Structure formats: structure tokens, C-alpha cells
């Protein structure tokens, strides 16, 4: 977007004063800047206004075509009135100050189909006047209803959904709009719509004399804008081109009517009144049944207009590098269409071409939109007299400049900046738009982007990590003998952490992974397969079927399948698909991975091959004897401890409190829990007889990082900070042995954590 970027002097300095303005005619302060603001706004407003008039005439010809072509002057009035309302309301309320709205071909096409259908249904049954009144009322109602729907979308803040439109689709939309603008510009220049069968008219000498200067003028504008730095350059170039044209006509002595007849100047049909389309109450003659039959087409127009507002607004945001509030654009377009429909106006929305033209002319201001509305108002009142001196190739050159700029940005420049697959989507969209139609092109682009996304996403590993229980233990503190046994048999427990949205593209990968693992013949044989779904965001029906097949594979292999952290919605989908404990398959389900892993470890420890160590003395004396190396030392340390008996669910340590003591568990179990900001508690570990809790915060002299709650009737012995200081002073050898014991415990925990991290990073 070289031209957009290079339009710096006139835009970037002045645009900042507009960004905060919800309405009004904000402009830079200071005399020089005021003059530049007014001049650039006036030039851009007049140029864009005259183009809006041209587009309104073109839309009118489309709206009342075929059997309705003799009503084209009425259509011009309706389209001009609509553009007046759209431009004025958008200038007042848009989130981007330089936004310009007008009636659009995208919506007028649907209205033309509605008008033709109604004319066919009423011909021979109603008078021509009644047919015209019914069609005009239907156009106004369709436009107002579209406005109400757009307003509702904005109020309920649904504009954010455009953020899900892929970047390549927006790029294809911009490139396609560039093609349509170039195509329309050539049609405006030569005076007829180009088709594949009529391309030969371009080489006609009379037409060559029109479009070749227009292209040269567009290239001149390109060069001026590319160099940038002077806000007056573009207006001067436009004025100079107009002067040169009329000087050439004057020297050749070509009269005005001849220039109009040969298609060099605009010629608007002259009529005493082109709006309003009727002077009396039209509702008495309206055939409401015919209008009601067109409701499906009206609903289609609503969808098309809503999508066009999103695409046009987001494309303008991308092209001019100015944040656009899509919900506000919905509301603005909604109010504008609602009011335009009251006068029979045709539906419209934010115009990409005119908005970019105002930006390139260095006038992204609200005043431009009001000037556009004023130009259309004067044209509506005075008709063709204003267009009598406006060279058609000049306006064609302006349109070519905009269209070619978009094509260059998204077909040439994007080639070097985008991945090839996404660039091919842009080419595909442009190809379909140019050969089939605008909506078809965008639709094909969206489908292609979705398919590409599905292919890319299917390459994402659904298994975030796979780890066995010899590396990943439950949080339950166990005796050394039990830990060693679990380490030796840990490969019988396989944990798979799943991630992302599981769909047909990734579900088969998961199924193949499990099937391969169960066929590896690794010893010891796998007994438990844990599927942790904490990082799963959702799944489709194909994924449900894959889960059922995994359950069947597990059943044939003698493996117990365990699911953890299943959200209710996913659990319900799996249950409906035949996957769950009630399905008859060997499936267990736990709320969290830690409790599931504890359950598996208990099944392994209950195995007959595990010889549990002989009963040992787990009293506080026995614990201290093993830690300190003798009963005498334990007896001495006992004098510094305080015995505490607790009921189940009693809080021994509270998260956030100051650390003043640590505890030896002599009887029962305690759970270490972390309280989340939302108040929920997460179990970190479970500690039983022979463990010490609260030592980290105690040693670091920090506040408690977790809570400790009893899970059964529990007896603990408390060592306070004061008691430890007293023991250090009175029995330093015993205190030293106690510190060494704690260091060993912390070192073992660190080694286990290191092994876990290493296994997860492999």
C-alpha cells in the first residue's frame, strides 16, 4: 500500500485530531492548517460527490432496467436521495472520520431482482402507476428493514465476528473490489459495460482516445501520490486536467452538446421532478401481497448488506491503517438505511472506493462526507446542469487509480509478503469475482480459507504430551519402597494430555497414536490409559466416534481407559455417542488427573507382586529416630514439639498467612490445596503418615503459598520457629541432623520435578 503509506504529510498530522470526534467538523488548529483542511476537504468532497452522483446514476440504471427502464429518472432520484442520507449520517457517526457511504451495486442488484419480479407479477393486473408505487414502497421497506437489522447487529455488538474472517479473504475482497472498480471505470469511460464479447470496443479509435488519457492520468496520480509530501499536488493535478480538457475542446471548437453526445461529458436526463417519486399517499394503491412474496429476497439482501458492511469496513481499516469500530459502523449504516428507506431510497453502506479516494486526496475528514451529501443534494435539485462540464475520462482516471492501487497491493506486493497458499486464495477470489460474481468470489474464498485452516490445524499435534507414571506421579506422598515399586511399574500407566479442538482431522491421529502404542509390545504391558482433556476446547461428532473406537481398542487390549477433566458439555456429547462408564467399555472418569493417577497407583500397589515393607513405627518417635539416627535424639527433639489433634476438613495451614511453624504428620492424611482467584480449590498433593508439611515457607520466611486441610482424623506435631531457635541453641547437633534430613527431602522432590520437566520437554 505504498500510496496509502506515502500520503503522510496531509493525513497523519491531521487525522489525529479527528480520531476522537464522534461527530462535528474537527480540524487542525492554526491558520495554515485550517486552509489546507478546508481546501483538501472541498476538493475531495466535490470529487467524491460527483463520483457518488455518477454511481447513483449507474445504480438507477441497474435498479430500473429492462421493462422498467423508462422509470430510470425516478431511480436516479431514489439513489441520489439514499446517497444523501447515507453520506450525511455516516459523516456524522462513523468511527473513521473519512468514511463515505452511498448506495451500492451489491444491494441494488437484489432490489432490481425484486422490482423485476414484482413488475412481472403485476403486469396486466394493475396499472403502471400502481406498479411503480408498489415497487417504490417495496424498495423503501426493504431498505428500512435492512437498516433495522443492521442497527440491531450493532447494538448487540456482533461486529466482532468479522475478526474471524481470514486475512487472505479480506485481501481477496480488496483485490476483487479493485478489479470491479477498474471494470466499472472502463465502463464509465467508454459509456458501456464491458463483457468478454465486447472487449473489442476498447480498440475502437473513439474509445482509445478516451481510456488511454484516463490511464495516463491515473499513472500521473500514482506518481504524485507515491512521492507524497505536498497536499496540494493531487488537487492541482485534477484541476489542471479539467482545464486542459476544456482548453483542448475550445481550440478544436467542439461544442458542449457534441462532447455530451460523444460521451466525453455527463448528460443527465432532464425532468422537472425526480424526487420524491410521488406527490400523494402511495399506500392506498400498494399491492401488499406482492410485496410479501418478496420477503425471502429481502432477507437475502439483509445478509448480503451485513456481510458487505463488515468486509468494506474492515478493508478500509486495513487500507488506511485506522481502527474501525465495526459495531459502530453497523449502527451508523443501520440508522442511515432506516431513514433512507422512509424516502424510498435504495440500501447502501460504507463505500470502499470513495473512502480510499478521500484518504488519498489527503482529506480523511467528516466534512468530506457532508460535502458529498451536499453535491448530491444540489444534483437532485438542479439535475444535469452540474455535470455538464465534468469530463468522464477524468473521473474514470480517478477510479482507475483506486482500482489499480488495490490490484497492485494485493496481487503484486502481497506476492512477496504472504505464504503461497494464502496468496492463491486471493487469486482464486479475484478470478471468481471477475468471471462469476462478487458474492460467489467471497464465498469461494471463505470456503477455501476454511479448508486450508482445517488442513493446517489437522497438522497440530492433538497429544500435547505423552508421559508414563515412572516419570509423572500423583501428588500423594508415599514411602520410598512404594515409590520405587511405582517407578519400576510406572510404564503400565500412560498419560496423554490432549489439546485444542478435536475434530475429524485430529481425532483419527489420536486413534492411530493409541492403536500404535498398544501394539508396540512394550513390557510391562500397558494397564491404564489416561486421557486428560483439560486443554481440549471442544470436539465434533467424528471425534466422539474416535473416542468410542479407542474405548473398544482398550477393551480388546485389556486396558482400563480413564478420562479426566471432562467439561460437562464434552462429557454429554461423549455420553450421547456411546462413550462413558455406562457404555459397558472399561472406562473410568475422574474430575482431575491427580486423583485418577492416584487411583491407578493404588491398583498397582495392590498387585500381588508388590511386597509391602514390614510394618514400621510411624509414631512421631519412630519418624524422628529414622530422621535423626537414634531414639535418644528423637526423644530430645520431642521436647520441642507440640501435639495437635484435628477433625476431618480442618484447616491446618491457610494460604496467605504468615509462616511461623511446620508440622510432622503422625496419623491420618492432609491435602495441600491452592485457592484460585475465583474461589475454587485445586489439590496439589496429599500427604500421609511420616511426611512434613509447611517446610518451604517456613525456611524461606514467606507467607503460605497454599492451604493444608485434613482429609481424615489427623494427628500432627508442630515445630514453631521459636522452638527451632531454642533447639539450635540448646542441642545444635540434633538441629543440624534435622536440617540435613529436610535437605534430603527437598532434594528428592527437586529430582522428581526435574525428571518430570525433562519428560514433558522431550
Do 232 and 129 have their domain in common? yes
- Spatial separation of the C-alpha atoms in residues 646 and 648, rounded to whole Å: 7
Predicted confidence (pLDDT) per residue in 381-397, tens digit: 876 555 567 687 877 78
Nearest Cα to Cα of residue 534 among 593, 483, 589 = 593
Which has the closest alpha carbon to 413: 216, 178, 185, 99?
A: 178
d(CA 573, CA 578): 9
Residue 453 belongs to some domain of the structure: no
- Mark whether 223 and 322 lie in a shared domain: yes
Q: Are residues 510 and 379 in the same domain?
A: no
Classify residue 668 as left (phi > 0), alpha (psi -120 to 50) or beta.
left
Is 441 within the bounds of a domain?
no
Which CATH number fits the domain that encloses residue 537?
3.30.750.24
From 359, 390, 417, give the residue that closes a domain: 417
Let me know if residue 437 belongs to a domain: no
Task: Give the side-chain half-sphere CA count within 13 A for 556.
Answer: 9
Distance CA 500, CA 540 (A): 12
Give 612's DSSP letter: P
Nearest to 654 by CA among 641, 672, 668: 672
Q: How far is CA 178 from the centre of its chain?
A: 24
Is there a single domain that holds both residue 517 and residue 474? yes
Q: Are residues 592 and 633 in the same domain?
A: no
Closest CA to 637 of 743, 745, 736: 736
Distance CA 738, CA 729 (A): 14
Rounded Cα–Cα distance for residues 673 and 708 (Å): 6
Residue 25 has pLDDT above 90, yes or no: no
Are 630 and 539 in the same domain? Answer: no
pLDDT at 90: 96
- Tell me which H or E stretch contains 25: none
Residues 624 and 699 in one domain: yes
- Report whether 715 contacts 668 (CB < 8 A): yes
Residue 304, pLDDT score:
72
Judge whether residue 6 has pLDDT over 50.
no
Does residue 286 share a domain with residue 197? yes
pLDDT in tens, 715-739: 999 988 888 889 889 888 888 888 8
Q: Which of 605, 638, 665 is the last residue of a domain?
A: 605
Beta strands at 670-675 and 681-687: parallel, antiparallel or unpaired: antiparallel
Instruction: Tell me how far apart the alpha carbons of residues 102 and 327 are, in angstroms, rounded to a whole number.
Output: 19
pLDDT in tens, 630-673: 888 888 888 888 999 989 889 888 888 888 888 988 888 888 88
Lowest-confidence pick of 173-182, 377-386, 569-578, 593-602: 377-386
C-alpha closest to that of 513 among 503, 498, 533, 491: 498
Predicted pLDDT of residue 509 = 81
Find where cell 520437554 sits. Answer: 761
pLDDT of 520 strictly over 80? no
Q: In the chain, what percentage of residues exceed pLDDT 90? A: 14
Number of domains forming the structure of the chain: 3
Question: φ and ψ at 404, to 5 degrees?
Answer: -65, -35
Q: What is the mean pLDDT of the chain?
A: 80
CA distances to 68, 113, 117, 124 from 120, rounded to whole Å, are 10, 11, 5, 9
The cell for 628 is 535423626
Three-state SS for 180?
Answer: helix
Q: For position 16, what pLDDT does the model report?
A: 40
Joined together, the cell numbers standing for residue 182 give 477498474
Read off the C-alpha cell for 184: 466499472
680-701 as b/e: b if 16+ CB within 10 A: eeebebbbbbbbbbbbbbbeee
**What is the model's pLDDT at position 252?**
87
E strand segments, 145-295: none
The answer to whether position 512 is within a domain reads yes
The end-to-end CA distance of the chain, in Å, is 44
Contact indicator for 670, 652 with CB cutoff of 8 Å: yes
Question: Looking at residue 613, what is its pLDDT?
Answer: 58
Per-residue model confidence (pLDDT) at position 286: 85
Read off the pLDDT band of 754 (50, 70, 90).
low
**522 within a domain of the structure (yes/no):** yes
Cell reading at 431: 478470478
How many helices, marked H, and strands, marked E, lie in the chain? 28, 15
What DSSP assignment string belongs to 364-418?
A: -SHHHHHHHHHHHHHHHHHGGGGGTT-BHHHHHHHHHHHHHHHHIIIIIGGGGTS
Are 601 and 650 part of one and the same domain?
Answer: no
Range with the largest mean pLDDT of 79-88, 255-264, 550-559 = 79-88
Residue 613 lies in a domain: no
- Tell me the torsion sign for CA atoms 196, 201, 203, 208: negative
Task: Give residue for cell 490490484.
Answer: 407
Convert the pLDDT of each residue in 326-375 to its tens digit.
Answer: 899 999 999 999 999 998 999 999 988 789 888 888 888 999 999 999 99
- Final residue of a structural domain among 389, 417, 445: 417
- Sheet architecture: strand order including 560-564: 463-468, 493-502, 528-539, 560-564, 587-590
The model's confidence at residue 81, banded by pLDDT at 50, 70 and 90, is: very high
394 lies in some domain:
yes
Section 495-515 average pLDDT: 83
Q: Express each pLDDT in 34-70 by its tens digit.
A: 877 888 889 889 888 887 887 787 677 668 866 787 7
Residue 626 sits in a domain whose CATH number is 2.60.120.10
Helix axes 205-227, 167-190, angle to 10 degrees: 140
Kindly state the helix (H) or strand (E) to which residue 497 belongs, with its residue range: strand 493-502
Is the domain of 572 the same as that of 656? no
| Confidence check: pLDDT of 1 > 50 | no
Q: Quick one: cell of 32? A: 495554515
Is residue 452, in this structure, part of any structural domain at all? no
Task: Check whether 611 has a pLDDT greater than 90.
Answer: no
Give the Cβ contact number of residue 759 at 10 Å.
Answer: 15
Nearest to 4 by CA among 174, 258, 209: 174
Q: Rg of the Cα trace of the chain?
A: 39
Residue 551 and residue 700 share a domain: no
Interval 175-204 mean pLDDT: 77
Where is pLDDT greater, at 418 or 181? 418
Residues 270 and 188 in one domain: yes
- What is the extent of the structural domain holding 477? 463-605
Among 84-98, 133-147, 192-206, the range scoring the smallest mean pLDDT is 192-206
Can you give 115-159 as a three-state secondary structure string?
HHHHHHHHECCECHHHHHHHHHHHHHHHHHHHHHHHHHHHHCCCH
Per mean pLDDT, which of 78-87, 99-108, 197-206, 315-324 is the most reliable? 78-87
Q: What are the Cα distances from residue 534, in Å, to 565, 589, 618?
A: 5, 13, 37
Distance CA 218, CA 241 (A): 11
Region 297-310: mean pLDDT is: 81
Amino acid at each position: 500500500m505504498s500510496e496509502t503509506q506515502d500520503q503522510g504529510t496531509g493525513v497523519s498530522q491531521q487525522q489525529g485530531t479527528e480520531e476522537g470526534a464522534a461527530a462535528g467538523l474537527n480540524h487542525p488548529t492554526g491558520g495554515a492548517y485550517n486552509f489546507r483542511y478546508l481546501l483538501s476537504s472541498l476538493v475531495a468532497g466535490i470529487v467524491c460527490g460527483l463520483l457518488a452522483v455518477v454511481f447513483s446514476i449507474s445504480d438507477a440504471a441497474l435498479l430500473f432496467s429492462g421493462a422498467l427502464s423508462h422509470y430510470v429518472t425516478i431511480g436516479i432520484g431514489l439513489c441520489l436521495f439514499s446517497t444523501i442520507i447515507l453520506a450525511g449520517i455516516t459523516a456524522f457517526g462513523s468511527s473513521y472520520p473519512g468514511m463515505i457511504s452511498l448506495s451500492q451495486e451489491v444491494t441494488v442488484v437484489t432490489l432490481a431482482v425484486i422490482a423485476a419480479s414484482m413488475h412481472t407479477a403485476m403486469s396486466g393486473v394493475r396499472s403502471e402507476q400502481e406498479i411503480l408505487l408498489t415497487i417504490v414502497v417495496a424498495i423503501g421497506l426493504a431498505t428500512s428493514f435492512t437498516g433495522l437489522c443492521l442497527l440491531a447487529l450493532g447494538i448487540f455488538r456482533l461486529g466482532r465476528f468479522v475478526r474471524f474472517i481470514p486475512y487472505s479473504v479480506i485481501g481477496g475482497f480488496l483485490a476483487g473490489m479493485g478489479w470491479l472498480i477498474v471494470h466499472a471505470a472502463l465502463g464509465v469511460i467508454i459509456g458501456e459495460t464491458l463483457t468478454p464479447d465486447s472487449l473489442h470496443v476498447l480498440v475502437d479509435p473513439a474509445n482509445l482516445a478516451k481510456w488511454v488519457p484516463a490511464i495516463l492520468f491515473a499513472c500521473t496520480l500514482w506518481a504524485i501520490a507515491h512521492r507524497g509530501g505536498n497536499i496540494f499536488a493531487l488537487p492541482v493535478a485534477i484541476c489542471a486536467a479539467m482545464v486542459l480538457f476544456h482548453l483542448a475542446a475550445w481550440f478544436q471548437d467542439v461544442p458542449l452538446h457534441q462532447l455530451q453526445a460523444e460521451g466525453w461529458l455527463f448528460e443527465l436526463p432532464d425532468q422537472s421532478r425526480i424526487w420524491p417519486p410521488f406527490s400523494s399517499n402511495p399506500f392506498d394503491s400498494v399491492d401488499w401481497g406482492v410485496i410479501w412474496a418478496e420477503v425471502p429476497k429481502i432477507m437475502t439482501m439483509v445478509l448480503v448488506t451485513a456481510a458487505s458492511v463488515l468486509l468494506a469496513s474492515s478493508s478500509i481499516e486495513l487500507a488506511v491503517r485506522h481502527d474501525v469500530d465495526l459495531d459502530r459502523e453497523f449502527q451508523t449504516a443501520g440508522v442511515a438505511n432506516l431513514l433512507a428507506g422512509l424516502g424510498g431510497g435504495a440500501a447502501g453502506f460504507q463505500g470502499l472506493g470513495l473512502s480510499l479516494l478521500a484518504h488519498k486526496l489527503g482529506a480523511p475528514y467528516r466534512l468530506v462526507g457532508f460535502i458529498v451529501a451536499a453535491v448530491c443534494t444540489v444534483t437532485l435539485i438542479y439535475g444535469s446542469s452540474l455535470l455538464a462540464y465534468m469530463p468522464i475520462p477524468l473521473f474514470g482516471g480517478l477510479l482507475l487509480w483506486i482500482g489499480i492501487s488495490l490490484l497492485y497491493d494485493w496481487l503484486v506486493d502481497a506476492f512477496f509478503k504472504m505464504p503461497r497458499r494464502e496468496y492463491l486464495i486471493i487469486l482464486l477470489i479475484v478470478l471468481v469475482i471477475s468471471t462469476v460474481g462478487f458474492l460467489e468470489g467471497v464465498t469461494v474464498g471463505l470456503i477455501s480459507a476454511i479448508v486450508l485452516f482445517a488442513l493446517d490445524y489437522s497438522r497440530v499435534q492433538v497429544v500435547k504430551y505423552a508421559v508414563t507414571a515412572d516419570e509423572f506421579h500423583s501428588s500423594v506422598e508415599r514411602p520410598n519402597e512404594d515409590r520405587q515399586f511405582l517407578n519400576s511399574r510406572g510404564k503400565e500407566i500412560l498419560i496423554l494430555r490432549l489439546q485444542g479442538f478435536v475434530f475429524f482431522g485430529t481425532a483419527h491421529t489420536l486413534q492411530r497414536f493409541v492403536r500404535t502404542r498398544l501394539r508396540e509390545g512394550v513390557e510391562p504391558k500397558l494397564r491404564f490409559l489416561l486421557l486428560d482433556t483439560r486443554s481440549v476446547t471442544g470436539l465434533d461428532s467424528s471425534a466422539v466416534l474416535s473416542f468410542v473406537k479407542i474405548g473398544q481398542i482398550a477393551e480388546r487390549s485389556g486396558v482400563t481407559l480413564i478420562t479426566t477433566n471432562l467439561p460437562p458439555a464434552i462429557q454429554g456429547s461423549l455420553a450421547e455417542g456411546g462413550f462413558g462408564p455406562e457404555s459397558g467399555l472399561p472406562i473410568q472418569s475422574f474430575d482431575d488427573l491427580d486423583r485418577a493417577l492416584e487411583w491407578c497407583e493404588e491398583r498397582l500397589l495392590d498387585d500381588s507382586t508388590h511386597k509391602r515393607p514390614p510394618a514400621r513405627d510411624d509414631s512421631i518417635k519412630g519418624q524422628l529416630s529414622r530422621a535423626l539416627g537414634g531414639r535418644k535424639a528423637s526423644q530430645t527433639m520431642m521436647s520441642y514439639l507440640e501435639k495437635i489433634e484435628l477433625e476431618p476438613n480442618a484447616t491446618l495451614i491457610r494460604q496467605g498467612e504468615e509462616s511461623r511453624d511446620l508440622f510432622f504428620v503422625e496419623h491420618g492424611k492432609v491435602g495441600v490445596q491452592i485457592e484460585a482467584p475465583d474461589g475454587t480449590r485445586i489439590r496439589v498433593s496429599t500427604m500421609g503418615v511420616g511426611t512434613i508439611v509447611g517446610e518451604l515457607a517456613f525456611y524461606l520466611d514467606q507467607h503460605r503459598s497454599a492451604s493444608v486441610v485434613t482429609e481424615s482424623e489427623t494427628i500432627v506435631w508442630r515445630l514453631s520457629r521459636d522452638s527451632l531457635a531454642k533447639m539450635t541453641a540448646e542441642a545444635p547437633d540434633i538441629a543440624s541432623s534435622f536440617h540435613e534430613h529436610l535437605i534430603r527431602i527437598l532434594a528428592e522432590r527437586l529430582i522428581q520435578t526435574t525428571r518430570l520437566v525433562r519428560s514433558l520437554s522431550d
